[in-house]
Amino acid sequence: MNTLIILSALGIIALFAEIFRFRKALFPLILLGLGGAFFFTAKEYNHPQIFLGMMNFDNYAVIFSCAILIIAFLWFMMAKNYFLQETSVTDHFALILFSLVGAVVMVSFSNLTMLFLGIEILSVSVYVLAASDKSNVMSNESGFKYFLMGSFATGFLLFGITLIYGITGSFDLASIHTQVAANHDSGLVIAGILLLMIGLAFKSSLAPFHFWAPDVYEGAPTTVTTYMATVVKTAAFAAFFRLFSTCFAGVTGHWTDVLWWMVVLTLFVGNVSAVRQKSVKRLLAYSSVAHAGYIAIAVVSMGAASTSAILYYTFTYSISSISAFTILFIVSRHKGSKDISAFEGMSKANPLLSFAMTVAMLSLAGIPPTAGFFAKYYVFLTAINAGNTLLVLIAVIAALVGIYYYFRVIIAIYFKPEQQLVPIKVGPLHRTVLIITTILTLLFGLFPNLILGWI
């Protein structure tokens, strides 16, 4: 609960920063606040707290909240230079902080009303942020499309919550679990579960409810796209798994087959579509869709190791994504292009960027010894232990397709000559972010138990 208080207070402070003229002090204050929030959140490990039956800060919530705070800390360091050029920097920072409140609620809810509130607090802020580049028509379109599609998905989510409440008479997860088990053959239960799955599949960008993601990711400012691909996706899958593992674990026959096919479709739509992209930003957007499919394998294969697999995958994927999007942001600013051709010959222009991008691409592709390899390994191992061997074989084939388009970027960096030599300067904050994310990607690849041992 301290986490929510600190983040809410930071958001309110950010709103007043312009009025009381301490805008320059806002950024270090936010970093300090996020550090404090992490400290108080970590202190709650092994000390579960339930607040009015609405929120449950158990170890699951604590670990995912800590992961979100670490990702947010790195994101603020990555995004500072972009937002400081905006006159409304305080508004941008406030929106991000309030969206973090929604993310923490999504990983700690124990009542369906809190799930809905968490999703909406997070989503409304991101709708605005996606359209925040007012001079860019694509950004305006991105925000509008995300808002319309998000509102449509919210309707499915609310309809599902209504049906579940109608059959169980409760919004409490524990009560729903009991009532669903007693009424497992009810058509209302099946319909409610499937509608909830559709709503959460949209937030997680699972096919066929992914169609908003490539356009929204491409049109939004690169920093906002980074936030959507990391914090938003981590919170969405944490909420997805918490709901289905708590309420519907006893009726897996009603939903696992549907999710199984959604995973297969997501894997191939994401990877095959990424192969055809020339824009690195759009490539990473489809890559994000594909990775949603890999994470969802752990949800389909619900078991004792699923929580660890989801945590490890979402966290390591987020770290690699921050690295890749940071480099894309730097390169596009210097060369005025987000295409793969903009990365040609970058190894000579900036070895640090080249090495960091290579590590990020290898991790996203799942190549050892990066963290991305073990992320896929643990998800696949979870699926095999649950008897989903065929799904693993399909996922491996999809991953081989993914290797092709990730290596296109690496080949452009090291093996294609630069058409026009453009020196690339990296600021101290961006350099720090890239060093941290690259080290973490390699460190967690070599010592995966640094994460897996906590949950």
For the chain, what percent of residues have pLDDT higher than 70? 97
- Report pTM: 0.93
236-271 confidence digits (pLDDT tens): 999 999 999 988 888 888 899 999 999 999 999 999
Q: How confident is the model at residue 336 (pLDDT cuts 50, 70, 90)?
A: confident
What average pLDDT does the segment 409-434 reach? 83
* Per-residue pLDDT at 419: 63
* Per-residue pLDDT at 440: 95
Q: Are 5 and 97 in contact (CB under 8 A)?
A: no
- Averaged pLDDT score across all residues of the chain: 89
CA distance between the termini of the chain: 20
* Per-residue pLDDT at 135: 78
Q: Are 137 and 149 in contact (CB under 8 A)?
A: no
361-420 confidence digits (pLDDT tens): 999 999 989 999 999 999 999 999 998 999 999 999 999 999 999 999 999 998 877 666
Q: What is the DSSP string of 264-332?
A: HHHHHHHHHHHHT--BHHHHHHHHHHHHHHHHHHHHHT-STTHHHHHHHHHHHHHHHHHHHHHHHHHHH
Q: How confident is the model at residue 211 (pLDDT cuts 50, 70, 90)?
A: confident
139-174 confidence digits (pLDDT tens): 888 888 899 888 888 999 999 999 999 988 889 998
Q: How confident is the model at residue 83 (pLDDT cuts 50, 70, 90)?
A: low
Q: Is the pLDDT of residue 86 over 60?
A: no
3-state SS assignment for residue 373: helix
212-243 confidence digits (pLDDT tens): 888 899 888 899 999 999 999 999 999 999 99
